[in-house]
Amino acid sequence: MRKISRSEAGNKQRILYIFDKLLEGQLIRKSEMATKFQVSEKAIQRDIRDLRIYFDGVRKLKYSRSKKGFELTDAHQKQLSKEEIIAVSKILLESRAFPKNDVDAVLKKLILLCHPDFQSPIDKFIRNELHHYKQPRHGRSIFTKLWDLQQAVQNRQVVTMSYRRESDPRPVERIINPVGIMFAEYYFYLMAYLPDKDFDSPIPYRLDRIEKYSINQEHFYIKDAERFQEGIFRERVQFMHTGKLQRIKFRFRGKSPEAIYDRLPNMREIGRDLEGIVFEADVYEQGVKMWLLSQGTRIEVLEPAHFRLEIQDTIKEMLDLYS
């Protein structure tokens, strides 16, 4: 095997450096590169020529007279824009899903995906919000657990876990068939069925409450027609509380139902009267009850009758607390 000379190694290192800088969206000036690598500008010109051949048909490496340097005209398409970085960072910070150290690490990596010209101002903007960030009370990093259990979902593998319920500090042992992972109201949830139970919907288990887990070699089977669909489930569930799936009818008395559509995306308008707009929606009763009560006089439950009575009883109990 032929040995690579020092000169050849230097040439390869130089062209790879220029290649990386171009992909980052940076401007390449021949004089600066020649000084950095202590070569002639002709050598840098040959590097530019070779890179043009490499990029041909995919991207254009051209000279900008106004900037006096070479750049990839569409290099930024492979990067996140400053606007996208801000938007994603805001969502991450507002979610309050992770410990502060994890959020800090992710934000730093996220900023590096942006054009170098905007990295410093974005970092300053985000630092202020991160300073006041309130992490979840559990304070646990869940990245490894999230990945492992997502693999179990993908491969349909049975999971044995030790789970700490909210009402009991002592963990319980569970053998489950995991079918999905979802995020809602600050927490990630593992959606799973108990093999020996026949439930209409999967049970949500908070990831941070899973103390220990092992992914078994045993696989479980679910028909494609019966597989868990996160999108449909999300339309029906509120606050990750399930209960019985039922169709409810309610009257909206507010000014605009836009926020209601966002909360219950599968609801349908079925009528209007002098008192408001009548909607129906397919929902899990336990979670939607909590949400309906938070709406005060803006929403009146009409059907089913037993659910309307249940809402009335809860309101009376609430009133008794203040009487």
Q: pTM above the 0.75 mark? A: no
87 has pLDDT over 70: yes
Average pLDDT of span 213-228: 82
Distance set, CA 54 to CA 33, 75, 127, 249 (Å): 19, 14, 39, 62
- Residue 221 structure tokens: 């089977």
Average pLDDT of span 216-232: 77
Residue 240: the pLDDT is 64
Average pLDDT of span 166-177: 87
DSSP assignment of 237-289:
-BTTB---EEEEEEEE-SS--HHHHHHSTT-EEEEEETTEEEEEEEEEHHHHH
Range 6-77 classified under CATH 3.40.50.300: no
Nearest CA to 48 out of 32, 117, 116 is that of: 32
DSSP secondary-structure letter at 5? P
Amino acid at 265: P
Average pLDDT of span 17-37: 87
- Residue 29 structure tokens: 């000036």
3-state helix, strand, coil in the chain (%, to 5): 45, 25, 30
- Residue 268 structure tokens: 């349908």
309 has pLDDT over 80: yes
**Is there a contact between 144 and 104 (Cβ–Cβ < 8 Å)?**
no
Residue 148: the pLDDT is 95
Residue 216: the pLDDT is 93
| Backbone φ and ψ of 212, nearest 5° | -140, 155
90 has pLDDT over 70: yes
pLDDT digits (tens, 9 = 90+) for 145-161: 999 999 999 999 999 99
4 has pLDDT over 50: no
Category of 197 on φ-ψ map: left (φ > 0), alpha (ψ -120 to 50) or beta: beta
**Is there a contact between 176 and 201 (Cβ–Cβ < 8 Å)?**
no
**Is there a contact between 258 and 282 (Cβ–Cβ < 8 Å)?**
no
Average pLDDT of span 162-182: 88
Q: Give the C-alpha separation, 277 to 60, whole Å.
A: 56
> Where is pLDDT greater, at 221 or 116?
221
Band (pLDDT 50/70/90 cuts) for residue 5 is very low
77 has pLDDT over 80: no
Mean pLDDT, the chain, rounded, equals 84
CATH of 236-322, one of 3.40.390, 3.40.50, 1.10.150, 3.30.70: 3.30.70
Whether the bond into 171 is cis, omega within 30 of 0 = no
Residue 58: the pLDDT is 58
Band (pLDDT 50/70/90 cuts) for residue 236 is low
Residue 175: the pLDDT is 93
Category of 173 on φ-ψ map: left (φ > 0), alpha (ψ -120 to 50) or beta: beta
pLDDT digits (tens, 9 = 90+) for 269-308: 989 888 889 999 888 777 888 888 888 889 899 989 999 9
Return the SS3 of 170: coil
130 has pLDDT over 80: yes
